[in-house]
């Protein structure tokens, strides 16, 4: 009998040892062992003198979560000890955490390491106050992968109060991130007090209204809106962040995105004309003029900024600078001549280099958006790569430091779930899974070049985010996914494992009153070709229990008694599939909907001459014939996107078919640089080799179509159909993204009788 009991005990224990520890980011090495240490009122707390803040922090956080306040004691047993090793390489933020029968020890080389060990310990504590504070015996060794583990916040488009900024920093610190990029100025508001130029906040911090709803609707309210941080506020926040091992990198935008500053001091623009703080979102033509007076002004501003922020890097913006004003300005012509510059692009580069010289003279470095590469990079500048990763790659090859923040993975203002269920967002589709799949070091870099990739950062632009609740919802949990990407070893990354730990965090986030999104429960669907390219199969997946998926095909919302998903669904007629994930009889997250419209081309073989962008490659070429029309609001999902290139697709209908019409959809969203195609051409062939043109659709008709494009082609009989949608090419002056390659977004080519 005793033997059986011992055996059962061993089995139960082995199983529980294998259970997930709710740690995010996942530590490098975790060795659990049998037994628990219990924190109680007589547990002592001891720390080296240098870690006195960390000791207080731990005690306060423990109290918050458990109601227990520990007393200071250095007893050998029943204590928590924080130890900083002396005489070792203090640059490395590693820590060692040991929970054993005598208590808990966190040791590290520096305060940051101790702080990270504390974060791990806090995550090991059961978040439910009523539970006993049992912590499983474990030994953890851990160290970060990247040195820049950042989160950004735009406080210009919408202003967020000081106490919320602290909560945001707490959240950053909780997931062992260490940079807060604070976007303090933009067209729609200047948010930092500058003593020498009081009008920056008296005038520049207030706008006469805000955009309401989607950009395309062009609706506005007329409420005065604004706010700013005083220098005392800033000092308080910098101190708060520093203690939590978070460096604040302030951003002062130049030469573009500066309308708010110019509304206060119009003399620093080229025209000198009075302007108002921006009310609409987008890119403004009014930018700083490169006069000596402007440089003096910016140097004075930056001097005060550098006094307030001790960070090595100062972000000077540099993105989206329309050259319209510079092209017509006599002063710019003079500067171009005087400095021997080729054009306005080199003038932008001159602008940034001159600012860099000043910032360097104060012992600091500049970092700017990847546009600062254009016309030649300033000698010591670091680059933040946002328009994809190419800017980052180019900068690393030139031996410049890089922070990666490509839109498709790191923009947390994008949709994270089906837009039908989400609050209005700027567009895009960046799920938690997509963020989690991000690899910051491009494989095209050599080992040496890779050293310049400092890390990555999640960006939270706030055009469409006006409340702290909404802001939390957009940031969490995507930031936890990025935190793991940036901290944990690459080989350790596993999405299913990550989400199972993340669900354990929801309780903690609830108790901290953080309003997180539950989009991880939203099912993923993928259409694949059925046998012999006859119709489709719909594969539905979840990182959770696949047997808990239910679906309907009659348009009704699924419940836990609906059909159980057991294998891919065969789709051979037009219908609506709705599916959801259930736990204990309750739907988790939102249901997904796939509305199938079958045509001759659905599920057929398709090949592309030009591959779409790495970021918008959907489910490959098959996306175009998967039976589901892309949602124009969700241009990152179920769409293929090309930058500056044509869509050129060949569909094999399998046998000769008769048809008379081709339908295809394109996104029209100039504010995101996505433009309708210039022209569409249709060719046919019976051997797939020699094609003849049978139809075109003109620019005029396409422009009027609002994206739903029909191409009539008479009565045709053919097996192969080639459809070419011509990309607009370079965007014209005066349009959003002028001078850049236009994006072309296409979905679903349906060929109809
Ligand atoms: C582009 S990212 C911008 C921002 C917008 C953002 C919206 C960057 C350097 N510039 O001004 O807020 O897109 O996603």
pLDDT tens-digit map of 129-142 = 655 688 999 999 99
| Ligand 1 centroid from CA 262, angstroms | 19
Residue 544 in contact with ligand 1 by CB distance below 6 A: no
Q: Which atom of ligand 1 is nearest to the CA of 463?
A: 12
Is the CB of 320 within 6 Å of ligand 1? yes
**527: its two tokens:** 């259409």
If you take atom 2 of ligand 1, which residue's CA is the nearest one? 386
- Integer Cα distance of 234 and 337 in angstroms: 41
215, 320, 373, best to mutate for ligand 1 pocket (most atoms within 8 Å of CB): 320
Q: Is the CB of 426 under 6 A from ligand 1?
A: yes
- Give the whole-angstrom CA distance, residue 427 versus residue 411: 10
- pLDDT band of residue 716 (cuts 50, 70, 90) is very high
Ligand 1 centroid to residue 154 C-alpha, Å: 9
Instruction: Give the pLDDT score at 671.
Output: 87
Residue 532 has pLDDT above 90, yes or no: no
Alpha carbon nearest to ligand 1 atom 14, residue: 461
In 61-99, which positions are buried (b, 16+ CB within 10 angstroms) versus exposed (e)?
bbeebbeeebeeeeeeebbbbbbbeeeeeeeebbbbbbb
Per residue in 194-231, pLDDT tens? 999 999 999 999 999 999 999 888 999 999 999 999 99
pLDDT (0 to 100) of residue 735? 85
Question: Which of 461, 475, 673, 740 maximizes ligand 1 atoms within 8 Å of its Cβ, making it the mutation to test the pocket?
Answer: 461
Least reliable range by pLDDT among 2-11, 113-122, 484-493, 581-590: 2-11
Residue 563 has pLDDT above 90, yes or no: yes
CA 398 to chain centre: 26
> How would residue 438 be classed by pLDDT, with cut points 50, 70 and 90?
very high
- Which pLDDT tens digit goes with each residue over 157-207? 999 999 999 999 999 999 999 999 999 999 999 999 999 999 999 999 999
Q: Which of 276-290, 364-378, 455-469 has the highest mean pLDDT?
A: 455-469
**Measured distance CA(720)–CA(352) in Å, rounded:** 53
Residue nearest to atom 10 of ligand 1 (CA): 319
The reply to whether ligand 1 has any atom less than 6 angstroms from the CB of 413 is yes
Residue of 93, 98, 186, 187 marked active site:
186
Q: What angle do CA 81, 86, 92 make, to 5 degrees?
A: 90
Confidence (pLDDT) at 67: 84
How does residue 468 score in pLDDT terms, banded at 50, 70 and 90? very high
| CA 283 to ligand 1: nearest atom | 11
Index of the ligand 1 atom closest to the CA of residue 461: 12
* CB atoms near residue 541 (< 10 Å): 12
Q: What is the pLDDT of residue 92?
A: 85
State residue 131's pLDDT score: 56
Among candidates 456, 345, 349, 312, which has minimal Cα distance to 392?
456
CA nearest neighbour of 433 among 514, 522, 505: 522
HSE, CB side, 13 Å, CA atoms: give it for residue 491.
2
pLDDT category at 3 given cuts 50, 70, 90 is low
Residue 411 CA to ligand 1 centre (angstroms): 9
For 93-107, 118-132, 417-431, 491-505, which range has the lowest pLDDT when averaged over its residues?
Answer: 118-132
Provide the percentage of residues in the chain whose pLDDT is more than 90. 84
> C-alpha angle with apex 304: 300 to 305, nearest 5 degrees?
110
At residue 130, the pLDDT reads 56
How far is it, in rounded angstroms, from Cα 288 to Cα 266? 9
For residue 411, the ligand 1 atom closest to its alpha carbon is 14
pTM: 0.92
The ligand 1 atom at the shortest distance from the C-alpha of residue 405 is 2
Per-residue pLDDT reduced to its tens digit, 327-349: 999 999 999 999 999 999 999 99
Highest mean pLDDT among 79-93, 296-310, 418-432, 667-681: 296-310
Tell whether ligand 1 has an atom less than 6 A from the beta carbon of residue 740.
Answer: no
Structure confidence by residue, pLDDT tens digits, 20-56? 799 999 999 999 999 999 998 899 999 988 889 999 9
Q: Where are the domains of the chain?
A: 13-142, 148-195+234-516, 522-596, 605-752
Averaged pLDDT for residues 447-469: 98
| Smallest CA separation from ligand 1 atom 5, residue | 461
What percentage of the chain carries pLDDT values higher than 70? 96
Q: Distance, CA 556 to ligand 1 centroid (Å)?
A: 39
Check pLDDT > 80 for residue 587.
yes
In which band, very low, low, confident or very high, does the pLDDT at 11 lie, cut at 50, 70 and 90? very low
Q: Tell me, what's the pLDDT at 4? A: 53
Go through 172-187 and write b for each residue having 16 or more CB atoms within 10 A of its CB, e for each that does not: bbbbbbbbbbbbbbbb
Instruction: Please state, in angstroms and rounded to a whole number, the distance separating the CA atoms of residues 624 and 218.
Output: 31
Average pLDDT value for the chain: 93
pLDDT at residue 84, rounded to an integer = 94
In angstroms, the CA 134 to CA 138 distance is 12
Atom of ligand 1 nearest to the CA of 281: 12
395-418: average pLDDT: 96
Res. 103 pLDDT band, cuts 50 70 90: very high
Q: What is the pLDDT confidence band of residue 10, given thresholds at 50, 70 and 90?
A: very low
E strands, 568-700, are 569-571, 575-583, 586-596, 605-608, 640-643, 647-666, 680-685, 692-697
Q: Annotated catalytic, 687?
A: no
Which of helix, strand or coil describes residue 312? coil
CB of 319 closer than 6 angstroms to any ligand 1 atom: yes
Cα 113 to ligand 1 centroid, rounded to whole Å: 34
Residues 193, 320, 463, 472: which is the catalytic one?
320
Classified by CATH at the fold level, domain 148-195+234-516 comes out as TIM Barrel (3.20.20)
Residues 598 and 574 sit within 8 Å (Cβ to Cβ):
yes
Residue 456 has pLDDT above 80, yes or no: yes
For residue 319, the ligand 1 atom closest to its alpha carbon is: 9
422 is catalytic: no
Residue nearest ligand 1's atom 7 by CA: 461
**Nearest residue to 519 (alpha-carbon basis) of 612, 591, 427:** 591
Q: Are β-strands 148-154 and 179-183 bridged in parallel, bridged antiparallel, or unpaired?
A: parallel
Mean pLDDT to the nearest integer, 465-476? 98
CA–centroid distance, 461 to ligand 1, in Å, is 7
What's the average model confidence in pLDDT over 396-406? 98
Of 96, 183, 245, 257, which residue is the catalytic one? 257
Residue range 13-142, CATH number: 3.30.379.10
What's the pLDDT at 129?
61
- Listed in sequence order, the residues at least 6 apart from 217 whose beta carbon sits closer than 8 Å to its beta carbon are none
Question: Which CATH fold would you assign to the domain 605-752?
Answer: Jelly Rolls (2.60.120)
> Is 320 noted as a catalytic residue in this protein?
yes
Average pLDDT, stretch 55-84?
A: 91
């Amino acid at each position: 009998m005793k033997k059986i009991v011992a055996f059962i005990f061993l089995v139960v224990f082995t199983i529980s040892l294998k259970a997930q520890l709710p740690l995010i980011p996942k530590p490098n090495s975790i060795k659990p062992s049998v037994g628990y240490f219990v924190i109680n009122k007589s547990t002592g707390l001891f720390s080296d003198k240098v870690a006195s803040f960390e000791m207080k922090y731990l005690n306060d956080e423990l109290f918050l979560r458990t109601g227990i306040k520990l007393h200071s004691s250095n007893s050998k047993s029943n204590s928590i000890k924080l130890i900083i090793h002396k005489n070792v390489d203090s640059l490395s933020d590693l820590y060692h955490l040991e929970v054993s029968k005598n208590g808990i020890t966190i040791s590290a080389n520096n305060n940051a390491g101790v702080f990270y060990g504390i974060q791990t310990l806090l995550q090991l504590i059961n978040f439910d106050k009523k539970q006993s504070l049992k912590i499983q015996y474990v030994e953890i060794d851990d160290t970060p992968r990247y040195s820049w583990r950042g989160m950004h916040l735009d406080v210009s488009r919408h202003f967020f109060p000081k106490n919320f900024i602290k909560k945001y920093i707490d959240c950053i610190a909780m997931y062992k991130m260490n940079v807060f990029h604070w976007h303090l100025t933009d067209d729609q508001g200047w948010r930092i007090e500058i003593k020498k130029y009081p009008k920056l906040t008296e005038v520049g911090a207030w706008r006469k209204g805000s955009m309401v709803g989607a950009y395309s609707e062009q609706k506005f309210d007329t409420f005065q809106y604004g706010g700013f941080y005083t220098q005392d506020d800033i000092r308080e926040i910098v101190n708060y962040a520093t203690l939590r091992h978070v460096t604040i990198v302030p951003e002062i935008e130049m030469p573009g995105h500066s309308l708010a500053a110019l509304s206060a001091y119009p003399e620093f623009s080229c025209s000198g004309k009075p302007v108002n703080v921006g009310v609409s979102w987008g890119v403004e033509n009014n930018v700083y003029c490169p006069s000596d007076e402007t440089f003096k002004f910016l140097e004075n501003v930056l001097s005060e900024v550098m006094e307030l922020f001790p960070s090595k890097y100062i972000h000077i913006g540099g993105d989206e600078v329309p050259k319209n004003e510079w092209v017509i300005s006599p002063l710019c012509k003079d500067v171009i001549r005087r400095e021997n510059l080729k054009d306005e692009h080199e003038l932008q580069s001159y602008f940034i280099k001159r600012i860099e010289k000043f910032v360097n003279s104060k012992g600091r470095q500049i970092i700017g958006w990847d546009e600062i590469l254009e016309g030649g990079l300033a000698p010591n500048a670091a680059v933040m790569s946002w328009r994809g990763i190419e800017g980052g790659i180019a900068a690393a090859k030139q031996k410049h430091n890089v922070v990666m923040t490509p839109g498709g993975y790191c923009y947390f203002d994008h949709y994270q779930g089906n837009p039908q269920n989400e609050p209005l967002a700027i567009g895009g589709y960046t799920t938690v899974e997509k963020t989690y799949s991000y690899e910051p070091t491009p494989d095209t870099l050599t080992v040496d070049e890779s050293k310049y990739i400092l890390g990555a950062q999640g960006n939270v632009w706030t055009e469409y985010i006006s409340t702290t609740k909404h802001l939390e919802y957009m940031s969490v949990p995507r930031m936890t996914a990025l935190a793991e990407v940036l901290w944990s070893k690459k080989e350790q990354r596993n999405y299913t494992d990550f989400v199972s730990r993340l669900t354990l965090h929801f309780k903690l986030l609830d108790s901290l009153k953080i309003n997180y999104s539950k989009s991880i429960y939203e099912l993923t669907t993928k259409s694949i070709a059925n046998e012999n390219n006859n119709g489709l199969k719909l594969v539905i997946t979840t990182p959770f229990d696949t047997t808990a998926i239910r679906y309907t095909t009659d348009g009704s919302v699924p419940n836990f008694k609906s059909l159980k998903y057991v294998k891919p669904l065969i789709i051979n007629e037009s219908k609506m599939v709705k599916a959801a994930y259930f736990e204990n009889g309750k739907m988790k997250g939102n249901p997904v909907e796939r509305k199938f419209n079958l045509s001759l081309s659905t599920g057929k073989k398709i090949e592309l001459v030009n591959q779409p962008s790495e970021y918008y490659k959907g489910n490959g070429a098959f996306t175009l014939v998967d039976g589901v029309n892309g949602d124009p609001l969700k241009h990152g999902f179920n769409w293929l996107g090309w930058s500056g290139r044509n869509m050129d697709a060949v569909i094999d209908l399998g046998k000769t078919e008769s048809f008379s019409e081709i339908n295809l959809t394109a996104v029209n969203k100039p504010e995101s640089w996505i433009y309708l195609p210039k022209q569409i051409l249709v060719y046919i062939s019976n051997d797939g080799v020699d094609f003849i043109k049978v139809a075109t659709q003109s620019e005029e008709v396409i422009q009027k179509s609002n994206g739903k494009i029909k191409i009539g082609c008479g009565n045709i009989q053919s097996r192969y159909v080639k459809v070419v949608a011509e990309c607009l090419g370079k965007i014209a002056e005066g349009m959003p993204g002028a001078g850049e390659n236009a994006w072309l977004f296409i979905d679903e080519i349906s060929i109809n009788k």
